[in-house]
Chain A
Amino acid sequence: MKKYFLVILALMVTLASYASSHREAPMIADDPLADNVDLYAFRSPGNMVTLIATYVPGQLPHGGPNYYSFGTNIRYEIHIDNNTKTKGDDLVYRFTFFRIDEDPSTFFNIRLGKQNLRMYYNMEKSDNGGRSFVTILASGSVAPPNIGARSISSPVGLNTTYQALMNKATRFAHTGERVFVGPSDDPFFVDLGGIFDLGDAPRQSGMSIDNLACKNVSTIAIQIPISYLLNNSAARTPSSILDPNYVIGVWASASRRKISTLSPGINKHSGEWVQVSRLGMPLTNEAVIPIGSKDYWNSITPYDEISDTLLDRYFYNPELSLYMDDSLFGGAVPAFSKLRIQRKSLGAFDFGNGKDGLFGLKGNPALAGTALDDAVFGTLLLPGPGKPRSVDLWPIFHTGVPNVIPYQLATGKNGNPLAAGKPFINNFLPNGGDMLRLNMAVPMTPRNSPEFSSMGLIAAAVSGLTDPKYNSNTNIEFIPNMDGFPNGRRLEDDVTRIELQAVAGVALAAIGLWYDDYVVGQSPVTPKLVNVLSYKTGVEANDADFKPSFPFVAMPWSGDGKCGGELVTPPAPLAVAGTSMLGLSARSVSSPKARFQAVNFPNPFRDQTQIQVEIEEAGQYSLQVFDVKGRQIQQLYNGNLNKGVHSYSWGNSGNVAAGQYFMRVTNQTDKTSQILKLNKI
């Protein structure tokens, strides 16, 4: 068996497809400010857990003049459950925003050190499940939009660097959490255009495209000591790397006041708070819940799902699996042809939509002591016939997966999926609701490790089945990427690919419910398994590198950079020609083109700066220095200049005050000019 799996290992290089929760339901698609886009939860160095919630999808970096930010009158919340015995959340972080216009007289967003639509937040924390809140960070500053070099780094703007602004927006709450609130690159990656064109991912013709590349989102990132997140019965050090007391469930939401009242130019809000967006597991409301239930899904909490009876069916018999089954609509979605679910696993088990999956085993003594035994978890995992995915997709989204038979790797099972195998996950927190569930006891896989994989837990499963380092025993061992999705979610995890593979039954295969082409006694690494594992959406990594330290998300794309629109080819110059009764002379105008270039150094300077002007075409030139108010301070030169390099110095007259100056070099022939900024310090 070992050698078969080496084949698989070699296939594991990759991944993914679309947007976790962007524009995922009709109502919230029309309310972008409150639209929760993605949620991440992962361990970070120093016994910390980082939670990142992103909002406001598809922001154009150049979306001025009123650049995107968080909304006022919205509660943005990150919720944590660490104990299924206590009802509802155990910890809640709430962010609310207010706005200040520092210079109401301009239409620019940033000008002369001032910013309009400048956002601040108050961060509150509840440790009693949301009954009461305490402010732990007041008037925190949100990083401004990364408009462009003139607005951010020039003296007519904020005169700083964007990195410095991000650093400034990274703060500590009174209670010790580290917080960043501001725009960032959208860390998600997906071929939206392909996947939502009826599942065309990877694209059957042409290249797959990351449609979230070059887009920004509004990010809330919190880094929290693990000790803050533990429930009361957890030991200060975990009993194992799969300690069940170290599991947290995380979800995020946005709520608005029930009533909004418009009057001319003003929008007032009143009434109770109504949840309008939520997010736990990626893609749930995007590609599992059908359109008729999406708005409803957004309106309820994960705790409401325990009593809900409408939504479970979409996990028991998911729409996506229709497209992975040749007896249903498999033929209609060629991009998914590598993804085929088990219709006759081990010669007996049919996981096709409407079939029974493992339900036929109900009451069978072979289930005794397993998670599927009614005496263990009740009817949670085998609720009835015709619900084939109650044993894999449903718990992955609603309870997490316990380290209990049959949820152990096939390693050591000797062909019987109901035997004990090698542990690889325990993120079981059975509250029944959609959350990201993270076992905080699982060690981190370093991002620079050669074994780090965006396939998350699927990569860990493959290693546990095939790598001789791990597959020779059934001990609990740390396998790289056990800290990956769906055990929490790292920024790098290719959740689109992982979830599509999961819909195709890869989790069932991992625990020994092999694909239909497996023949007992032969290699379980069959062509069908290889197909599923090698399936990719064609977009497997983010377009920007993540940062090695908090807040980990990449800097937002700037509005004046490569993501700020399509390059245009220079237009033909306007020609003005003719004569006239006015005595207008005939004259044609050609496009000004650079006939010179000026540079200065050092800059900034203390005593004097050297100015070099390289002339490509001889002519009449003038060199003038202005102050920031546009007053001419000095004319350095006015006259003919020959082709070549000409040097001047400025600043040494002794009476030049420190500050910002502009030097303008003008070609008097065609009126082109260049401005140099001179910073005297």
Chain B
Amino acid sequence: MKYFSKTSFKLKNQSWLVFVLWITSMIPVLASSHREAPLIANDPLADNTDLYAFRSPDNPNMITIIASYIPAELPYGGPNYYTFGENIRYEIHIDNDASKPGDEIVYRFEFKRVNEDPTTFFNIRLGKQNIKAVYTMSRSIDGGKTFSVVINEGPVPPNNIGPRSITSGVGLNTTYEALITGSIVNASTGEKVFCGPSDDPFYVDLGGIFDLGNSPRQDKKNRDGIAKYNVHTIAIQIPITTLLKAGVNAVPTSILDANFVIGVWASASRKSIRTLNAGGAAPTVSGDWVQVSRLGMPLTNEAVIPIKDKDYWNSITPYDDFTDTKMDEYFYNPELALYMDDAQFGGAVPSFSPLRIQRNSLQGFDFGNGKNGLFGLKGNPALAGTALDDAVFGTLLLPGAGKPRSVDLWPIFHTGVPNVRPYQLATGKNGNPLAAGKPFINNFLPNGGDMLRLNMSTPVTPRNDPKFSSLGIISAAVLGLTDPAYNTNTDIQAIPNMDGFPNGRRLEDDVTRIELQAVAGVALAAIGLWYDDYTAGGANPVTPKLLGVLTYSTGVEKNDKPFKSTFPYVASPWSGTEIQ
């Protein structure tokens, strides 16, 4: 189905450098990947819940990658508080070169647990801790063929059980912040690493959204379903120079330098055979490692992949996505779009009523499920030189009829978005979406798999910038279209929040909202495929339908706890005694 070859693609990709970006992102609904597939919901220790990748605000020469595991830990979950599991490989994978198959860099974390005082049922007593985890971090820079141990016996702080266990003389006699600080390891290879419990940085109204899309709730009482729960976090800060594709100059050629794109994904694997032993002895494990959880883009497996394929999705790699032909359909014609279309089930999900996809954009293009989207343009000379031209990217983006979202949702999840027409803002296009416009994204790494794709040359938006927005690239697009500081030319400019999701993912980014808006076609609108209530040639594309999509909110837009301004950025875990 994907006819282009990676190598030929790379050559073409290098020849393109025009403007603009595209927008936003995509897809669906709720908790990024908590309990997202049946099998893994029953194996919480190996359940990858979220993945973040962003340039570090306090050290822009470093990229921070955060992978969280073990969903919805109760802070008071004693007496055997949660921690990383033994016999699990927790891995963070990085691809920086689409012309080479598979990963370039892999970080692997493996944990051991020890009981310092087996005579008590308490987790912490008199300076000793039970179920205390330590880890080994290994690194591969040859795509996983060989690994070198970089950190041995790395400390994992205990759970924040409560003041008696942490600060009092009968407990550890310290402070929780000191335990976190003391657990940050500077590796000899330049990485900074933290493994331990933290507040779950994600936020979402699980109860509303999974009650058949009731988000925002019709009674307006929105709830953050994962407020006050913890996860176990692996955070790693890596020099950009370590992550750069081989042979690339460390100084980017622009803020959208195509060579500065990385794809990041995380996984957990277990040995294929587990044998329970008598007498409560630990199980014996043997056999090959089998991937049981993976995560790249948020919510893919939660709200795009339907139930029958969720376990399968978890078991394959992004590189397998490339040859898989089953999953693409869920992006070409996403289930969520059914609920944003009055001709389908739009009426059945009142919460999504502001979200209505383009059925008649520019009075010619129908992006409803099963319709053709832009496919009618196939072969049209107007496509020449655009990303939709078969001569450029093959049939990647216009694979066939009846796949309307092959031009927006599919690439956002599978290739990233190139700075190539039509993926530039409508600014400067004078009404023709295929014309050159204002660049706003280039995270194109066309390996075909689900990953977070981050252009590391895009400048950091300070978290205290008045224009910092949890809407990520949607916010950058809105500014690029409407703010006089940016919308009077088609130059490449640093627009605030160009470093936001789906160009990587910052802790703050409201990915649920962004993806729902993307399903509703906001990315199409950003590049000039306006909503149905705009008449081609009309003066004002900022129509009520566009405003409906842009102002749509799930009502839960930020985390329950402020993030830290320094590594590891995630908030400290909730204490077992502070939760009502």
Please determine whether A580 and B279 come into contact, CB atoms closer than 8 angstroms.
no
Interface membership of chain B positions 518-556, coded 1 if the CB is closer than 8 angstroms to chain A and 0 otherwise: 000000000000000000000111101101101101011
CB-based contact B547/A589 at 8 Å: yes
Instruction: Output the least CB separation between A414 and chain B (Å).
Output: 40
Flag if B228 contacts A566 (CB, 8 Å): yes
Select from chain B the residue with minimum beta-carbon distance to A71.
Answer: B42
Residues in A whose Cβ lies below 8 Å from that of B220: 570
- One of A26, A104, A573 near B308 (C-beta < 8 A): A104
Q: Which of B131, B163, B164 has the most CB of A within 10 A?
A: B164
Pick the interface stretch among A42-50, A57-65, A647-655: A57-65
Contact of B488 with A584 in the complex, beta carbons under 8 Å: no
Separation of A568 and B557 alpha carbons in the complex (Å): 9
Whether B308 contacts A101 by the Cβ 8 Å rule is: yes
User: Is the CB–CB distance between B312 and A264 below 8 Å?
Assistant: yes
Binds A, one of B6-14, B75-83, B104-112, B246-254: B75-83
Q: Are A64 and B206 in contact (CB under 8 A)?
A: yes
The CA of A197 and the CA of B221, in the complex, are separated in Å by 33
**Chain A interface: which of B188-196, B410-418, B478-486?**
B478-486
Residues of A within 8 A of B478 (CB): 576
Number of interface residues of A (CB under 8 A): 130
Q: How far is the CA of A596 from the CA of B161 in the complex (A)?
A: 49
Q: Is B134 in the interface zone, CB < 8 Å from A?
A: no
A263 and B206: CB pair below 8 A?
A: no
Closest chain-B Cβ to A606's Cβ sits at a distance in Å of 23
Task: Mark contacts of A289-308 with chain B using CB atoms, 8 A cut-off: 1 yes-contact digit, 0 otherwise.
Answer: 11111111111100000000
Most buried by A among B270, B276, B344, B545: B276
Set A256, A292, A568: member contacting B118, Cβ < 8 A: A292
| B125-170 with Cβ < 8 A to chain A | 125, 130-131, 161-165, 168, 170
Interface centre among B170, B211, B283 (most CB of A within 10 A): B211
A-chain residues with CB within 8 Å of residue B341 when the two chains form the complex: 630
* Interchain CB contact under 8 A, A151 and B316: no
Residues of chain B within 8 A of A29, CB atoms compared? 80, 82
Answer yes or no: A639 CB below 8 A from chain B CBs.
no
In the bound assembly, the distance between CA atoms of A108 and B302 in angstroms comes to 9
Asked if B72 is an interface residue, CB under 8 A from chain A, the answer is: yes
- Binary CB contact string for chain A from 407 to 450 against chain B (1 if under 8 A, 0 otherwise): 00000000000000000000000000000000000000000000
Given A62-B210, A65-B210, are A193 and B35 neighbors across the interface (CB < 8 Å)?
A: no
| Cross-chain contact B163 with A197 (CB below 8 angstroms) | yes
Are B225's CB and A565's CB within 8 A?
yes
Asked if B278 and A299 make an inter-chain contact with CB atoms under 8 angstroms apart, the answer reads yes
Contact B79 A23 (CB under 8 A): yes
Task: Choose one: A259, A297, A584, A675; the contact of B353 (CB below 8 Å).
Answer: A675
A581–B427 contact, CB under 8 A?
A: yes
Q: Does B2 contact A (CB under 8 A)?
A: no
Closest partner residue, chain B, to A573 (CB atom)? B551
- A66:B335 contact, CB within 8 angstroms: no
Residues A106 and B307 in contact, CB atoms below 8 Å apart: yes
Chain A 342-382 near chain B by CB (<8 Å), digits 1 or 0: 00000000000000000000000000000000000000000
Query: Which residues of B in the span 424-439 have a Cβ within 8 Å of any Cβ on A?
Result: 426-431
Q: Is B208 an interface position by the 8 A CB rule?
A: yes
CB-CB < 8 A to B41: which residues of A? 66, 68
A584 and B576 in contact, given A25-B80, A262-B290 (Cβ under 8 angstroms): no
A584→B555 contact, CB < 8 A: no
**Across the interface, do A63 and B162 meet the contact criterion of CB distance under 8 Å?**
no
Residue in contact with A24 in the complex, picked from B36, B80, B212, B481, CB distance below 8 Å? B80
- Contact status of A105 and B306, CB under 8 A, knowing A209-B579, A265-B312: yes
Question: Are B576 and A197 in touch, CB under 8 angstroms?
Answer: yes
Residue on A with the closest CB to B209?
A64
Q: Which of B450-504 contact A (CB under 8 A)?
A: 471, 478-479, 481-484, 487-488
Question: How far, in Å, is B227 (CB) from chain A's closest CB?
Answer: 4
- Given A65-B36, A264-B312, the answer on whether A196 and B576 have CB atoms closer than 8 Å is yes
What residue of chain B has the Cβ atom nearest to residue A56's Cβ? B42
A interface vs B, CB < 8 Å?
18, 22-27, 29-30, 32-33, 58, 60-66, 68, 71, 99, 101, 103-111, 116-117, 147-151, 154, 156-157, 192-200, 203, 206, 209, 211, 256-267, 271, 274, 276, 286-300, 319, 329, 332-333, 558-561, 564-568, 570-571, 573-574, 576-585, 587, 589, 591-592, 626-632, 662, 664, 668, 671, 673-675
A–B pairs, 20, beta carbons within 8 Å:
A26-B80, A27-B283, A66-B307, A103-B307, A107-B302, A107-B305, A108-B213, A148-B208, A148-B212, A151-B211, A192-B78, A200-B164, A261-B287, A264-B316, A291-B120, A292-B118, A565-B206, A565-B223, A578-B481, A592-B354
With A27-B283, A66-B37 known, 4 other A-B pairs at CB within 8 A are: A30-B45, A63-B35, A289-B121, A567-B221
- In the A-B complex, the 5 residue pairs with the closest CB atoms: A578-B482, A292-B118, A564-B207, A197-B162, A148-B211
